[in-house]
Amino acid sequence: MSETLLLDAPLVPDPDEAFELSDTETTAFLTDDEVKDARFNVKVVSVERVADGLAVALKAGFDPMPRSRFTYARVSIRAIRPDDLEFVDFAPKEIRDSKAIKMTVTKALSLSAEGEGVKGEVALGDRTAEYAYYDCIARGMASSGSVRWTFEENEVIRNGIGTHQVMSFTVPMQTPFDISVQTTCNVIRPGIAGLGDKIRTLVFGHDASHGRARPATISPPEKVSRGWFRRL
């Protein structure tokens, strides 16, 4: 199944960060102008019918400005419509090591993300339709009609959170449903020899009324689909 773009939007500096009572001793801020090229997008990797529900795999795309990298990102997906929409399960829940991951879904719509033992077959950075590859620390959490993930760079390697991260969830229905997507990303532009680093927190929209959470609709495929998720 080919990936389809769900949303693509520029990221803007968090409007409150610069107005917090704190000192500037740690790291300087990137200016608004310096971060204007940062973008975030979400693609639909797969929507599959499973039992009475759907298994959805999305791919978050992080596109920082040149000479910079994202060190942290939080992506939240909130159920909007229908009113009783709930997430049954989600994956990944926590992945700390760089390895190829296979998402598995059961008939009860529960999801798991486990290493496939294919280290030799999937090189670092290689991504196939079947495998997700996390070279950062990925954690997920779901509650109160929301499912969210955080992606943090490895503090030792400091190579950012990567350009794409896969997030999957299941819902107990097979009709189109509405969600909203929100993100917060920490971006850094390294200085020289550890000096002169500049940081900024980026979000969608300057305030809540200017689209900090972006709406999106997920539609199931017309035919019974099989493929991206491994079934149990």
Asked if 146 interacts with another protein (CB under 8 A), we say: yes
Q: Please count the other Cβ atoms lying within 10 Å of the Cβ belonging to residue 224.
A: 10
Stretch that binds another protein, among 35-43, 99-107, 142-150, 160-168 (CB under 8 A): 142-150
Among 66, 84, 144, 223, which residue interacts with another protein (rule: CB under 8 A)?
A: 144
Task: Report in angstroms how near the CB of residue 162 gets to another protein at its nearest.
Answer: 17
Cβ neighbours of residue 54 closer than 8 Å, sequence gap 6 or more: 47, 48, 170, 171, 173, 174, 218, 220
Q: Which residues between 68 and 107 bind another protein (CB under 8 A)?
A: 72, 74, 76, 78
What is d(CA 33, CA 101) in angstroms, rounded to the nearest whole number?
38
Taking the CA atoms of residue 85, residue 212, residue 94 and residue 157 in that order, the dihedral angle to the nearest 10 degrees is 160
CB closer to another protein out of 46 and 182 = 182
Cis peptide before 92 (omega within 30 of 0): yes
User: For another protein, which is the closer residue by CB, 50 or 213?
Assistant: 213
**Residue 17 in the binding site for another protein (CB under 8 A):** yes
The DSSP bridge partners found for residue 213 are 182
Q: How many CA atoms lie within 13 A of 165 on its CB side?
A: 32
Q: Which of 44, 132, 213, 218 binds another protein (CB under 8 A)?
A: 213
Residue from 2, 20, 33, 194 binding another protein (CB under 8 A): 20
Task: Tell me if 170 contacts another protein by CB under 8 A.
Answer: no
Count of residues that bind another protein according to CB under 8 A: 32
d(CA 123, CA 118): 9
The answer to whether residue 139 forms part of the interface with another protein (CB under 8 A) is yes
Assess 19 for contact with another protein (CB under 8 A): yes
Query: How many whole angstroms separate alpha carbon 116 and alpha carbon 196?
Result: 41
Task: Give contact residues for another protein (rule: CB under 8 A).
Answer: 14, 16-25, 72, 74, 76, 78, 139, 141, 143-144, 146, 148, 150, 152, 182, 184, 186, 201, 203, 207-208, 212-213
